[in-house]
Amino acid sequence: MAKHKKNKAKRAEKKALAVGGAPAPTPALRPTVVAPANPFTAMRRFAEEMDRAFGGFGLPSFPRFEAPWGSIDATWMPAVEVAERGGKLIVRAELPGLTKDDVKVDVTDDRIRIQGERREERKEKRKGVYRTERRYGSFFREIPLPPGADPEQAKATFRDGVLEVTLPAPPAAAGGRRIAIEPS
């Protein structure tokens, strides 16, 4: 009987392939697609993926699809890099177009919080039409700190749109060890 079920499944798969279909993936292998809420975001991501895929061939970049009302993304988050160099923990945040007065940095025992507001104003005058657009958007990032970090020694600098927060790196945590499992 089990042989009959296998043959029946093979015939169904061959029939699906013959009519241009494809066998359905098993439920565990089905891809999950999460669509962005904004269609312009989806098109921008598609364009970025195409540029990454074909950028090395000398082809022109894919056209950008932006929302007609502007380019500030409601979910913009600054890019952050965390590194340990020379006994210091260094956190860098890229904040293009902002000044140090637009950004606040708070350091606690377990995290660094970077917050601020992006403001953009654009004025355009052509053919007797004067157009002004203003956009605002708040952001914040929280970066966890390793245990033992000393927030009192943290220092921040801001130069050319890059915020850098440095503090002494805490001593490395004691290494763990592997233990043998004893028979019961």
pLDDT digit string, tens, across residues 53-74: 766 666 666 555 444 444 444 5
Is 138 domain-assigned?
A: yes
- Statement: residue 25 has pLDDT above 60: no
Overall average pLDDT of the 170-178 stretch? 76
Contact 91, 112 (CB under 8 A): yes
Same domain membership, residue 84 and residue 4: no
Same domain membership, residue 84 and residue 55: no
- Statement: residue 155 has pLDDT above 70: yes
The CA–CA distances, whole Å, from 56 to 11, 49, 50, 53, 117 equal 45, 13, 11, 8, 36
Same domain membership, residue 33 and residue 112: no
Contact 77, 141 (CB under 8 A): yes
Q: What 3-state class would DSSP assign to 153?
A: helix
Q: What is the dihedral of CA 106, 121, 158, 167, to 10 degrees?
A: 30
Same domain membership, residue 158 and residue 87: yes
pLDDT of residue 101: 92
- Statement: residue 94 has pLDDT above 90: yes
Q: Which string of b and e fits 12-31 if b means at least 16 CB within 10 Å? A: eeeeeeeeeeeeeeeeeeee
Contact 166, 89 (CB under 8 A): yes
Q: What is the CATH number of the domain that holds 160?
A: 2.60.40.790
Indicate the residue among 68, 88, 103 that finishes a domain: 68
Looking only at the bridges linking them, the beta strands covering 80-85 and 88-94 are antiparallel
Indicate the residue among 19, 40, 68 that finishes a domain: 68
Q: What 3-state class would DSSP assign to 1?
A: coil
Residues with Cβ within 8 Å of 39's Cβ and at least 6 positions away in sequence, in order, are none
The terminus-to-terminus CA distance of the chain in angstroms comes to 44
Is 149 domain-assigned?
A: yes
Indicate the residue among 22, 42, 68 that finishes a domain: 68
pLDDT of residue 133: 82
* Residues spanned by the domain of 97: 80-168
Same domain membership, residue 31 and residue 4: yes
Is 73 domain-assigned?
A: no
How far is it, in rounded angstroms, from Cα 168 to Cα 85?
10
Q: Of all helices (H) and strands (E), which one includes residue 47?
A: helix 39-54
How far is it, in rounded angstroms, from Cα 88 to Cα 108?
17
Same domain membership, residue 49 and residue 84: no
Proportion of the chain above pLDDT 70, given as a percent: 64
Query: What is the domain count for the chain?
Result: 2
Average pLDDT of every residue of the chain: 75
